[in-house]
Amino acid sequence: MNYSSTTYRTLVLLIVLTLTGARAASAKTFNLGLMGQEPAEDIRKLLAVANYLGKELEKEGFTQSKIVVAKTMNEVATLLREGKVDLHFDSYARTLALSRLSGSTPILRRWKKGVAEYFGVIFVKSDSGINQLEDLKGKTVALEEEFSTVGHLLPKFMLMERGLKLVPAERVTRDSVGYNFAYWDENTMLWVLKDKVSAGAMDSQTYAGLSQKHGDSLKVLAKTPPVPRHVVSARPGMPQDLLARVKQILMKMDQMEEGKKALQQFDRTAKFDELTENNTALIQKLRKVIDAELKNN
């Protein structure tokens, strides 16, 4: 995949919300971006937030707000680099990857579905004889997908911190840990229960729900560090005064009646707030893992 390409294919670009009577030709547009496969639904969810933010930015000279839904991470990176998306909303891992690809900056934490942070678990069968991460040498783990935060990159980071090497399952040796992508959490749990793999990784809430019907047959081997549920990032080169104003607007939305309503439409977002020191410290630690994943894609 060519990440330096200057071309891009947006799955859909839409919706222009005219906030004044200015003609489109002279309009100054503030662009919000998402990555997704269902553009109509993504636009519907973000529409009220885009409208709210656009109105609040009228004093800064903006007359329109636009939502851009891109199909791939490569497309999002190009849009951010070229200034065709001003703000992007995404998961922690993809936000960090986009920062490496485009120079964008993570600026705020989004409380998606009312959740500020979440963490993942690595789990095994209770009778597996596996009691610590080092016991996974020579065995295979089921991970979620390439840029899953708590289902792939954080578990990989934890294993690397223990001096363990992850390799594709077909290349596993007694001194490494093999992995396969299961893509669905239900697959991950089934593979562990059926001994197709020795361990699996997924977010803790999903694990709690799926493991209930299996009684004591599973156990948690390790927990990942907590990370933001979702992150807002700003395009490279955004003027500092505009960036500060955008952050101010977003962080005050939950205190305004209209803002609260807009947040609820956006996957029941509770609020936006600053990233914590732990969030930003982990960004530095994960760079090696992110860079390796980008190289492989």
Task: Please indicate whether residue 6 or residue 134 has the higher confidence score (pLDDT).
Answer: 134
186: three-class secondary structure by DSSP: helix
Segment (H or E) for 56: helix 39-56
Structure confidence at residue 12 as a pLDDT band (50, 70, 90): very low
Which class in CATH covers the domain with range 120-224? alpha beta
% of the chain beyond a pLDDT of 90: 77
User: Angle at the Cα of 152 (from 74 to 81), degrees rounded to 5?
Assistant: 20
Q: What is the pLDDT of residues 52-71, one digit of tens each?
A: 999 999 999 998 889 999 99
Q: How many other CB atoms sit within 10 Å of the CB of residue 162? A: 13
C-alpha atoms less than 13 angstroms from C-alpha of 133 in its C-beta half-sphere: 18
| Rounded-to-integer distance, Cα 43 and Cα 69, Å | 8
Domain ranges, ordered by start, for the chain: 12-115+228-283, 120-224
Residue pair 53/89 in contact (Cβ under 8 Å)? The answer is: no
Instruction: Output phi, psi for 289, to 5 deg.
Output: -65, -45
Domain 12-115+228-283: which CATH number of 3.40.640.10, 3.40.228.10, 3.40.190.10, 3.40.50.620: 3.40.190.10
Burial of 240 (0-12, 13-18, 19+ CB in 10 A): exposed
Say which residue, 38 or 177, is predicted with more confidence: 177
| CA-to-CA separations, 138 to 28, 167, 174, 194, in angstroms, rounded | 57, 10, 4, 18
pLDDT of residue 249: 97
pLDDT digits (tens, 9 = 90+) for 202-228: 999 999 999 999 989 999 999 999 999
Question: Do 258 and 147 contact (CB within 8 A), yes or no?
Answer: no
Mean of the per-residue pLDDT values for the chain? 89
User: Whats the size of the chain, residue-wise?
Assistant: 297
CB-neighbour burial class of residue 131 (10 A; exposed 0-12, middle 13-18, buried 19+): exposed
The encoded tokens of residue 101 equal 């690809």
Which tens digit of pLDDT belongs to each residue from 147-190? 899 999 999 999 988 999 999 999 999 999 999 999 999 999 99
Report how far residue 233's alpha carbon sits from residue 243's, in angstroms, rounded to the nearest whole number: 10
Q: How far is 6 from 75, CA to CA, in rounded Å?
A: 9
- At 182, phi and psi to the nearest 5? -95, -25
Output Rg (C-alpha) for the chain, integer angstroms.
21
Q: pLDDT per residue over 80-137, tens digit each? A: 999 999 999 999 999 999 999 999 999 999 999 999 999 999 999 999 999 999 999 9
Q: Is there a contact between 228 and 110 (Cβ–Cβ < 8 Å)?
A: yes
Measured on CA atoms in the order 58, 60, 61, 67, is the torsion positive or negative? negative
How many whole angstroms separate alpha carbon 77 and alpha carbon 69?
Answer: 12
Q: What is the pLDDT of residues 264-282, one digit of tens each?
A: 999 999 999 999 998 888 8
The string of pLDDT tens digits covering residues 222-270 is 999 999 999 999 999 999 999 999 999 999 999 999 999 999 999 999 9
Identical fold for domains 12-115+228-283 and 120-224, yes or no, is yes
pTM for the whole structure: 0.84
Higher pLDDT among residues 7 and 275, named by residue:
275
272, 108 in Cβ contact below 8 A? Answer: yes
Q: How far apart are CA 96 and CA 90, in angstroms?
A: 10
Note the Cα 266 to chain centre separation in Å. Answer: 15
Residue whose pair of structure tokens reads 């095994």 in the numeric block: 124
Residue 284 has pLDDT above 90, yes or no: no
pLDDT at 262: 97
Contact 140, 242 (CB under 8 A): no
Of 125, 145, 146, residue with least CA distance to 136: 125
For the cut 80, the answer to whether the pLDDT of residue 3 exceeds it is no
pLDDT at 286 over 80: yes
CA distance 178 to 186: 20
